[in-house]
A and B are shown apart, each in its own frame.
Chain A
Amino acid sequence: MRVRAGLGLLLLAGCSGAQTPLDPWGIQADRIATLSHVLFWGGGAIFLLVMAFVALAILAPQRWRARMGSRGFLIGGGIVFPVVVLTALLGYSLGVSRALTQPMSDAPLRIEIVGRQYWWEVRYPDLGEGAVTANALHLPRGREVELHLTSGDVIHSVWVPNLHGKLDMIPGRVNRQRLRADRVGTLRGQCTEFCGTQHTLMAFDVVVQEPEEFDAWIARQRAPVPAPETEEHRRGMQVFGEAGCGACHAVRGTPWAARIAPDLSRVGSRPTLAGGALPNNRGNLAGWIAAPQDIKPGNHMPAYARALEGSDLIALASWLDSLR
C-alpha cells in the first residue's frame, strides 16, 4: 500500500498513528484518501476558476467582458460545464463506493462492538468463549474483519479514520462494515455521533498486530487471570469484591461476570483508560476509581474516594494494573 504524498502529510508533519483519513493504514481508507485528494485538487481548481471569472467580469478589458456578458457564457459555464464534470464525478464516486463495499474474502473475522455511554464493548464471537474486551479493538494485520455494530442505549458511531469511514451504532439494528488493517501499530478511534454529556471523552484504542501476536492476545484474553501473587495484589482483589466492583465489571477466572460496565480482564495491558480519556498506568487507575466524576463528569461510574482507604485504593489499582 503506497503512502500518498500531498497536503495531508504536509499537515501531519510525518506523525503516523494520528487520527486522520489522510494517513491510511488499510485498503478502504486508502481508496477514500485517493478520492479525497481528487476532490480537494479538483474542487480547488474549480474554485479558482470561478473566482477568476468574477474578477474578469469586473476588471477585464471591455472586449472580454462583452463576451462573458452573454447567455452563451451563462449556459456554457452554468449548465454544460457542471453537468459534464458532475457526471464524470458521479461515475468515479460510484465506482469508489462499489470497490469499498466489495467483500475481499468469504470468511471475515467477525467483531461485535456495542456502544454504550461512554465506553465500548468488544467481542470476538468466532474465537471462542471469553474473547471479550472493552475500549480497545485488536485487529490482525492483513486479514479482513467484519465489524458488527450496535448500541446498548443511544446512537453512537465508530470512526477509525485510518482504516475506513464511520458507521453508526443504532439501538435495535446491527450495522456491518468490512475493513482490513495493513500496518502494525496503534491507532485511535472516536465516537462520532453526539451521545450525551461525555461524548467528547468516548474514544478507543485500535491495536493492529501481526497474526501470531493477535492469536496470542486472544488466548490471553480468554484465559482466566492468574491468582494474585503478592500480598498487595491479594488485598486488591479482595477490595474489588468488597467494594462491589463486581456488580458491574467482569474479570475472567473470577466469580465476577457482570456486563454493565467495561470488562476488566487484562485491563493493565490496554493503552488507555476510560474511553481514551487517560493514559493507562497505576496512578491513573487509582485516580479514576477514586474520582471518575471529576475526570468524566456525567459518566455512569460512581466515585470511590470516600468508600476506600488510601492503601486499599492503591492495592486495588495495583492488582488491576497487574492483569495483563
Chain B
Amino acid sequence: MSDASKTLPHSLPRPPEELGLLERAWAAPTGFRRLTEINNNLIGPLFVITALGFLLLAGLLGVLIRLQLAVPGLQIIDADTYNQVFTTHGTIMMFLFSVPVVEAVGIALLPAMLGAREMPTPRLGAYAYWIYLIGGFAFFLSLFFGAAPDGGWFMYPPLTGKAHSPGINTDMYLLGIGFIEISAIAGAIELITGILRCRAPGMTLGRMPVFAWGMLVFAGMVVFAFPAVIIASTLLELERVFDWPFFIPERGGDPMLWQHLFWFFGHPEVYIIFLPAAAMVSMIVPTMARTPLVGHSLVILALVGTAFLSFGLWVHHMYTTGIPGLSLAFFASAGFAVSVPSGLQVFAWIATMAAGKKVRIATPTLFILGFLFIFSLGGLTGVMVSVTPFDWQAHDTYFIVAHLHYVLIGGMVFPILAALYYWAPCIGTPLSERMGKWVFWLLFVGVNVTFFPMHISGFLGMPRRIYTYPAGMGLEIWNMISTIGALIALIGGLLLLFDIARSFRLTGGEGNPWDAGTMEWLPNRNYGPRSIPTIDSRYPLWKNPRLSEEVEAGAHYLPGTLTGRREGLITSPAEGIPQYVAVLPGPSWTHIVAAIGTAGFFLVLTVEWVVPAAAFGTLALAAFLRWLWTGTDFGPIGEGRGDIGGGLVLPTYVTGPLSTSWWAMGALMLVMGSAYACVLGSYLFLWLVNGDGLWPPAGIGLPLLDRGLLALGLYLAAGAAVWGGGALLRRRGSLPFWVIPLALLALAGGYGADIASLWEAGLSPSSHAYASASYLLVTWQGVNVIAGGIMLLYTQARSWAGMLDGVRRVTYDNTMLFLIYTAGQGALGVLMQHGFPRLL
C-alpha cells in the first residue's frame, strides 16, 4: 500500500520457522513419487505441454491431408485411411487440444492471478489431467490399428449407426472421447468453485482480472454445453450396441435429433475455445500498452453476453437440412447479434493500444497483432456464412474449412502462443525473443497461405472431406498453394516446440520482465504467494509497487500454515470477504489409479471386453473411495480455527452453503440437470417427429401407472429420508442408524418400480423410438441411482468409522444434495413418462 497509514496484517520480520512449516506442507515429492503431486504449479504446465503435444500430432495429420490434396488424383493414403485421418485431425484438435489448452492455462495461472495458493479441489484437477493424458493418447493410437473414427468430427448418423459403420471406429469416438469430456466437466466444476470462492480479500468481481472472467464464462458454458454431446454419444452408443432406434427413421427415430444435440454442444464449444483466449488478450494488451484496459466492464459484459447468445445459434450449422425458413431467420439474427460483443472486444483492444504511451512490440505483441488480423478476417467470413442463402452455397465446402481455421487458429492458437511467450517468465524461464519472431512470421505467413486460398477453392466447387478432387475444375493452383503454406506453418510449429524444449524450464518464475500489473507476477513457489494480500485495484502491482516485497516477506494474510497442512483462503463470491481457511489434500496415488481405472473401463468397452471393463471399473471405484476417505472432509483440525493476520480469526472447517464443496456439488447438479434436460428434450423431439398418434405407436402400450406412482412415492421418500436425516444429524450430533438403510431401500425400491413400469407393460426398447426414449429416461436415472447408492454406503461407512458427526458433516451434506437431486430427477422422469403420453 502506498498509503503509509494503513497497517499490514503481520509485523515483520516473520518468525524463522513459519516459512519452513509452510514449505514442508507444500513440499513436492521427489523422484518417482513426483507423479503423485497435484499442485496446480505442476499440473497446469503438464496440461499445457500435453495439449501442445496433441496440437503437434493433429497438426501432422493436417499436413498429411494437405500433401494428399496438393495435386489431383494422389493416393498417398487410401480412402478409408484418409477418412480416419481427417476425422481424427478434427476430433483431436477440438477435444484434445483446443478445450484442454485454454483450461490448462487457467489451471496454471488462475490461482496466482487471484491471489490464491491453489485450486479448491486439486486432486480432481490432477485426475482430470491424467484421464486426459491416458485417454487422449490411446485415442490417437487407434489410428495405427485402423480403429480410429471415420465419420467426420461430428459423426452424423445414420452413417455412424451400426448398419453403415459396423466396426469399432465409431465406438472409439463415442466411448473414447466421451469419457474425456468428463475431464473437461471436472475442470469446469473446479474453475467455477475456485473463481467464485478462492480469491484474495478485497478482490470484488469488479476488480477480478478479465482472464478470470473468461475462465468463469468458459466453465459455465462447459457445464451447460458438454452434457448435450454426452447425451448424444450415449444415445448413439445405445443404438449401436442395443439397437435402440433413436436415429433410425423406420422405427420412429430421426437423424436430426443427433444434429440438434450435437450442435447445441458444438456451437457453444467454439466460444468455449475462443472466449478464454480473448480474455488472455485482454490481459496481455494492457501490459504491452502500459495502460489499463479501456472499457474493462464492457469487455466483461461482452464475454458474458457472447456466452449467453452462443447457446441460441446452433441451427446455423443446419441451414441446409430443410428446417423451415422462419426458424432459420431467427438463428441468422442471433448469429449477427453474437458478432457484436466480439467486435466490441476488438475495438477495446485497439483503444487500449491507442491509449498507451508507446506499445511495446515483443513476441507476445506480434502474436496479438497476428490474432487481430486472422481472427477479424475469420469473424467477417463468419458473418457471411450466418447469412442463410450464402451458407446454402458455402456450407460443406472449403469456404467453411477456411472460415473455421481462421477463427480457431486466429482466435485461439495465436492468443495461446502470445500467452506462452508472455507468461513463460511468470512460471519459468523465458522463451527466446529472437526465435519467437521467426516462429511468428513463419506461422503467420504459413497460416494465411494455407487457408486463404480455401475461400477460393470452396467457391470453385470443392466440397469438404474429399480425399482427392478432379483435374480441370480450376482447383489445382489453390490446393498447391495451400499445401505450401501448410509446410511453412509446420516449420514454424516445429521451431516453436524446439525453442520450448531448449529454453523453457519450470522454475517458478524470473521476476516481472514486462512490468505487468496483475498478481500472477508476484513471487510464486509451490505454495503460491508467501502471504495473501488485500486487493483494492484491478492492477495491484501498478497500484502498489512494493507489493511483491511485502507479500514475500510474509506481511500479508496467512504467511504460514495454521494446521501444518496445505491450506487455501476462501472468500465470499462477490465482495471477496475472507470466510474460512480450507484444508487441502496433498499428493497421492489414488487419483492416478482412478484415472487408469476410468480410462481402462471406457477404452476396453470400445472393444466389448466386458469382464476386463468391469475389472477396470472396480479398480476406479476402489481408488475413488480411497481418495475420498483419505483426502476429503478432514473435520476440524486442532481448535478448528486460526488467526490469519490482523486479528482476523477464521474457522478451518465449515459445512453447509459456506463450504466450497457445497458449491462444487451445486455445479455438479447443474451439469446433471443440463444432461437431464437433454434427455427430456430428446424424448420431446422424438414425440414431435412422430406426432401424437404415434406416441405411443399402435401395438405398444403405455407404462403401468401404478408402478409409476409407486416409484414416484419411493423416490420422494428417499429424498425426504436423507433430508430429514441431515436435520437429525445437525440437531442430535450423530446419524441415526436407520437413515441410510431407509434411504437405500426407498431408492432401490423406487428404481425397481420405475423399471417395472416399462418392463411389465411389455415395452421393448428396440421396437420403436417411443420405447427407446422411455427406457432412456429410466436408464439415465440408473446412473444417478447407482452413484447415489454408492454415496449412501460410503457415508454410512464414514459414520461407523467415527468420521461423521454433527460438526463434521461435509460428506453427509454432499450425499444429501446428490440424493435430493436424484429423487427430484426420478420424480420428474416418472411424471414425464406416465403423464405426458396420457395427456396428449
Contact = CB atoms under 8 A, between A and B. Distances in A.
Interface of A: 8, 11-13, 15, 18-22, 29, 31-32, 35-36, 39-40, 43, 46-47, 50-51, 53-54, 56-58, 60, 64-71, 73-75, 77-79, 81-83, 86, 89-90, 93-94, 96-98, 100-101, 117, 153-155, 157, 159, 161, 164-168, 170-173, 175-176, 188, 190-200, 276, 297-298
Contacts of A188: 461
Nearest to A15: B474
Contacts of B336: 86, 89-90
A12 B376 contact: no
B79 A200 contact: yes
B306 interface: no
A69 B292 CA distance: 11
B389 interface: yes
Given A54-B350, A154-B158, A165-B393, A86 B340 contact: yes
28 contacts: A8-B459, A19-B473, A20-B460, A54-B350, A58-B359, A67-B354, A68-B351, A68-B355, A69-B353, A73-B350, A73-B354, A74-B294, A77-B350, A78-B340, A86-B340, A89-B387, A93-B390, A94-B329, A97-B325, A154-B156, A157-B320, A159-B396, A166-B395, A166-B396, A171-B249, A172-B250, A192-B464, A298-B80
A57 B291 CA distance: 13
Contacts of B388: 93, 97
Closest 8 CB pairs of A and B: A165-B392, A172-B249, A69-B355, A19-B461, A78-B347, A175-B322, A78-B344, A68-B354
Nearest to B376: A50
Given A66-B355, A69-B351, A97-B332, 7 more contacts: A39-B384, A96-B387, A154-B158, A157-B320, A164-B392, A197-B79, A199-B465
B345 A78 contact: yes
A318 to B, nearest CB: 27
Contacts of A75: 295, 298
A97 B319 CA distance: 12
A168 B159 CA distance: 14
Interface in B728-775: none
A36 B384 CA distance: 8
Interface residues on B, range: 35 or more
Contacts of A57: 350-351, 353-354, 359
A165 to B, nearest CB: 2
Contacts, number: 251
A29 B390 CA distance: 10
B383 interface: yes
B824 interface: no
Nearest to A93: B387
A168 B353 contact: no
A20 B455 CA distance: 12
A56 B395 contact: no
Given A43-B381, A50-B346, A78-B345, A58 B353 contact: yes
A18 B332 contact: no
B353 A194 contact: no
Given A47-B377, A167-B322, A70 B383 contact: no
Contacts of A77: 343, 347, 350
Contacts of B329: 94, 97
Contacts of A167: 320, 322, 392
- Per DSSP, chain B at the interface is helix
Contact of A43 (B249, B380, B456, B468): B380
Contacts of B332: 90, 93-94, 97
Given A19-B461, A21-B459, A170-B322, A74 B348 contact: yes
Given A90-B336, A171-B158, A192-B463, A51 B387 contact: no
Contact of B347 (A74, A97, A100): A74
B645 interface: no
A300 to B, nearest CB: 11
Contacts of A13: 474
Interface string B150-183: 0110001111000010000000000000000000
Nearest to A70: B351
B156 A297 contact: no
Contact of B390 (A32, A73, A159, A168): A32
Contacts of B508: none
A199 B328 contact: no
A85 B66 CA distance: 37
Contacts of A192: 395-397, 463-464
A97 B387 CA distance: 9
B460 A18 contact: yes
Given A69-B352, A77-B347, A79-B344, A90 B383 contact: no
A13 B473 CA distance: 11
A166 B80 contact: no
Contacts of B392: 32, 164-167
A56 B350 CA distance: 9
B162 to A, nearest CB: 12
B294 A71 contact: yes
B369 interface: yes
B351 A194 contact: no
Contact of B79 (A21, A47, A86, A297): A297
Contact of B474 (A12, A171, A297): A12
Contacts of A15: 474
Contacts of A101: 325
Contact of B320 (A22, A165, A191, A200): A165
A297 B81 CA distance: 12
Contacts of A276: 470
A20 B249 contact: no
A195 B466 CA distance: 11
Nearest to B83: A197
Nearest to A59: B359
Contacts of A65: 354-355
Given A54-B350, A200-B467, A168 B461 contact: no
A155 B159 contact: yes
B389 A197 contact: no
Contact of A18 (B298, B359, B381, B474): B474
A208 B90 CA distance: 39
Contacts of B393: 21, 29, 32, 36, 161, 165-166
A170 B376 contact: no
Contacts of A71: 294-295, 351
Contacts of B79: 197-198, 200, 297-298
B393 to A, nearest CB: 4
A82 B345 CA distance: 12
Interface string B332-375: 11001101100111111011111110010100000001001100
A159 B469 CA distance: 16
B624 to A, nearest CB: 39
Contacts of B348: 74, 78
Contact of A11 (B249, B456, B469): B456
A14 to B, nearest CB: 11
B3 interface: no
B322 A36 contact: no
A67 B372 CA distance: 20
A24 B322 CA distance: 22
Given A47-B380, A93-B332, A172 B156 contact: no
Nearest to B250: A172
Contacts of A39: 383-384, 387, 390
B254 interface: yes
